[in-house]
C-alpha cells in the first residue's frame, strides 16, 4: 500500500464478514479477503457531481453577507450524539469508552448494513463512530482508513459525507499528501447553505494551506473569528487554532493568544488544545502563541500554591497555647527565665517542623504544575449522564485520559471530594505527578481536597 494512508489513489474498505481492511479497486470489483476468504463485491467509488466546481478555496460568493447570515443562524443548534451510542463514547462522542471498543466496532459494522438499507439513525451512528475510530486507531492507520471509507460508501446526505471527507482531507494534508487532500476537499460542497457542510469545507481548505506553509491564506478562508465567518461548534477549536496560526504568521500575537485562550476553560488548562494537537500533529499550529499561553496558565496555577500558614499555626497554637500561660505564671520553683524560653520552644519547634513539611508540599505541587501531565477525568462504563444516580449505578471506575490516549486509574493518595455533576459532565482536569503515583493537581472541575484548607476551582 502507499505510504500515504489517505491517498485518493487507494481504496480501503472493510471486509463484510470479518471487518479486516482490504485494498479495493477504485472502479469497483470483487475482492477476496485474505483473512476469512470471503468474496466482497464493491461498487465503484462514488464521486460528487459538484467536485469540479468545488476545487480550490471558496470564492467571494461563498462570503456573501446574506449567505453568512443564513449560516450564522444555525450556530446555536444543539448537536447531540445518538442515544444508542452514549454508553460507547465519552467526551461528547469524540473518544471510545475503553471497555466498549469491541461493542463499538460491532455497532459500526451493523450500522453499515442498516445505512445501506436506508436507515437514517444508522447514518448518524456511522458518522460519529467513524470519527471516533479515526481518533482511536492512530496506531492502525489502514483499519481507521477502512472504517471511514466504508462509512462513506454507506452514506448519502451531504452533511454526513462532508464530515468524513473532511477527516480524509485533513489526514492526507497532515501526512504531506496535498494532492489527495485537495481531491478529498473537492468532494465537499464549497457553497452549501448547511453550516456543517460549509464548515467542513472551510476548515479542511484552511488546514491544507496551513500544511502547505501558506498561513496567509487562512484568514481569508475562515475570517478573524466565528462572529465574522460562522463555524459549526464541533469544528470551532480546530478553526480557532488555524485562525491563530494565520494571526501569528501575520505578527498578531495578541489575537492568536486570544483565539487559543477561548479553548482553555477560562485560562485554567490547555487540555482541549493538547488533545487537538495530538490528533493533528502536523502542521504545528500557532506554536509560539500556544507556548506563550501555556506558560501564562502555568504561572497562574503556580501562583495559587502558597504557604498554608493558617493550617500550620492554628493546630500548634490550639495544642500548646493553653500550656504556655500555665508554665509562665504558675511555674512554681521554675524561674520565668526558664519557663518563657521553654514555652517559646514548645511553639517554635512544632511550627518549624510543620513549615518544613509544608515547603515539601509546595515543592511537589509546583512540580506537578510545571512537569505533570494533564488528563480528562471520566467514568468508564457510564451509561446515564442525565442524573447523578446514573453515575453511581454504572459500576465503572474513574480514569484519567491523557491527550495521547493513555489511560490511568484515578487513585489519589489522599481523599478528594469530586462533585458528581462535574464528573459526569467530564469537567474535571487532573494533572498527574511525573514520578509519584496517585498525586494529583486539579486544574478544572468542582474538586475539594479533603485534607486541604483551600478549594480548587
Residue 350 region, left (φ>0) first, then alpha (ψ -120 to 50), else beta? Answer: alpha
Burial label, 330 (beta-carbon count in 10 A; 0-12, 13-18, 19+): exposed
In this predicted structure, the answer to whether residue 327 has a pLDDT above a threshold of 90 is no
Percent of the chain with pLDDT over 90: 63
Q: Residues 339, 344, 348, CA angle at the centre, nearest 5°?
A: 150
Residue 46 has what pLDDT?
A: 85
Q: Cis peptide leading into 447, omega within 30 of 0? A: no
d(CA 226, CA 243): 10
Which position has the higher pLDDT, 53 or 192? 192
Instruction: Dump pLDDT digits (tens) for 267-314.
Output: 999 999 999 999 999 999 999 999 999 999 998 888 777 655 555 556
Residue 394 has what pLDDT?
A: 47
Local confidence band at 325 (pLDDT 50, 70, 90 cut-offs) = low
- What are the angstrom distances between the C-alpha of 268 and each of 91, 151, 264? 18, 37, 6
Instruction: Dump pLDDT digits (tens) for 339-376.
Output: 666 666 666 666 666 666 667 777 888 888 889 999 99
Residue 233 has what pLDDT?
A: 94
- What are the angstrom distances between the C-alpha of 23 and each of 132, 216, 231, 282, 355? 22, 38, 35, 26, 66
Local confidence band at 390 (pLDDT 50, 70, 90 cut-offs) = very low
List the chain domain ranges. 309-363, 372-449
d(CA 248, CA 144): 33
Local confidence band at 446 (pLDDT 50, 70, 90 cut-offs) = confident
The residue with cell 500557532 is: 286
Find the range with the poorest average confidence among 74-88, 100-114, 214-228. 74-88
Please state the separation of Cα 206 from the chain's center in Å.
Answer: 20
Which of 188, 184, 187, 212 lies closest to 201, judged by CA?
188
d(CA 396, CA 416): 18
Local confidence band at 457 (pLDDT 50, 70, 90 cut-offs) = very low
76-102 b/e with 16+ CB inside 10 Å = b? eeeeebbeebbbbbbeebbbbbbebee
Does the CA dihedral 28-32-35-36 come out positive or negative?
A: positive
Find the range with the poorest average confidence among 8-17, 154-163, 309-318. 309-318
In this predicted structure, the answer to whether residue 337 has a pLDDT above a threshold of 70 is no
d(CA 393, CA 410): 18
Which of 355, 353, 330, 333 lies closest to 343, judged by CA?
330
Amino acid at each position: 500500500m502507499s505510504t500515504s494512508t489517505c491517498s485518493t489513489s487507494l481504496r480501503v474498505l472493510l471486509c463484510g464478514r470479518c471487518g479486516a481492511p482490504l485494498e479495493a479497486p477504485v472502479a469497483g470489483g470483487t475482492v477476496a479477503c485474505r483473512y476469512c476468504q470471503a468474496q466482497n463485491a464493491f461498487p465503484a467509488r462514488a464521486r460528487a457531481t459538484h467536485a469540479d466546481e468545488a476545487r480550490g478555496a471558496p470564492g467571494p460568493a461563498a462570503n456573501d453577507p446574506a449567505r453568512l447570515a443564513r449560516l450564522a443562524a444555525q450556530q446555536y443548534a444543539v448537536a447531540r450524539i445518538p442515544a444508542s451510542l452514549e454508553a460507547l463514547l465519552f467526551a461528547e462522542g469524540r473518544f471510545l469508552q475503553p471497555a466498549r471498543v469491541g461493542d463499538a466496532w460491532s455497532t459500526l459494522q451493523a450500522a453499515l448494513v442498516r445505512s445501506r438499507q436506508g436507515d437514517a439513525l444508522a447514518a448518524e451512528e456511522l458518522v460519529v463512530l467513524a470519527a471516533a475510530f479515526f481518533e482511536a486507531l492512530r496506531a492502525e492507520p489502514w483499519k481507521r482508513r477502512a472504517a471511514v471509507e466504508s462509512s462513506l460508501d454507506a452514506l448519502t446526505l451531504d452533511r454526513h459525507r462532508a464530515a468524513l471527507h473532511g477527516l480524509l482531507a485533513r489526514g492526507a494534508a497532515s501526512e504531506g499528501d496535498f494532492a489527495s487532500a485537495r481531491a478529498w476537499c473537492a468532494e465537499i460542497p464549497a457553497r452549501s447553505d448547511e453550516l456543517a457542510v460549509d464548515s467542513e469545507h472551510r476548515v479542511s481548505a484552511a488546514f491544507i494551506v496551513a500544511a502547505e506553509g501558506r498561513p496567509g491564506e487562512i484568514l481569508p478562508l475562515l475570517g478573524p473569528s466565528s462572529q465574522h465567518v460562522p463555524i459549526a461548534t464541533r469544528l470551532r477549536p480546530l478553526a480557532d487554532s488555524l485562525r491563530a496560526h494565520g494571526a501569528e504568521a501575520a505578527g498578531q500575537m495578541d489575537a492568536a493568544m486570544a483565539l487559543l485562550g477561548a479553548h482553555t476553560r477560562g485560562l485554567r488548562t490547555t487540555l482541549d488544545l493538547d488533545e487537538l494537537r495530538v490528533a493533528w500533529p502536523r502542521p504545528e499550529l500557532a506554536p509560539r502563541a500556544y507556548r506563550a499561553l501555556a506558560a501564562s496558565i502555568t504561572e497562574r496555577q503556580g501562583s495559587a500554591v502558597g504557604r498554608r500558614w493558617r493550617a500550620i499555626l492554628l493546630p500548634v497554637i490550639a495544642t500548646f497555647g493553653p500550656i504556655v500561660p500555665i508554665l509562665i505564671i504558675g511555674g512554681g520553683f521554675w524561674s520565668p527565665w526558664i519557663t518563657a524560653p521553654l514555652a517559646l520552644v514548645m511553639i517554635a519547634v512544632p511550627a518549624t517542623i510543620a513549615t518544613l513539611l509544608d515547603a515539601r508540599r509546595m515543592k511537589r505541587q509546583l512540580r506537578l504544575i510545571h512537569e505533570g501531565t494533564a488528563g480528562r477525568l471520566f467514568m468508564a462504563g457510564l451509561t446515564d449522564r442525565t442524573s447523578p444516580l446514573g453515575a453511581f449505578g454504572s459500576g465503572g471506575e474513574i480514569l484519567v485520559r491523557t491527550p495521547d490516549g493513555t489511560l490511568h486509574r484515578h487513585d489519589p493518595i489522599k481523599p478528594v471530594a469530586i462533585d458528581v455533576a462535574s464528573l459526569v459532565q467530564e469537567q474535571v482536569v487532573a494533572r498527574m505527578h511525573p514520578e509519584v503515583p496517585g498525586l494529583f493537581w486539579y486544574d478544572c472541575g468542582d474538586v475539594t481536597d479533603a485534607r486541604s484548607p483551600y478549594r480548587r476551582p
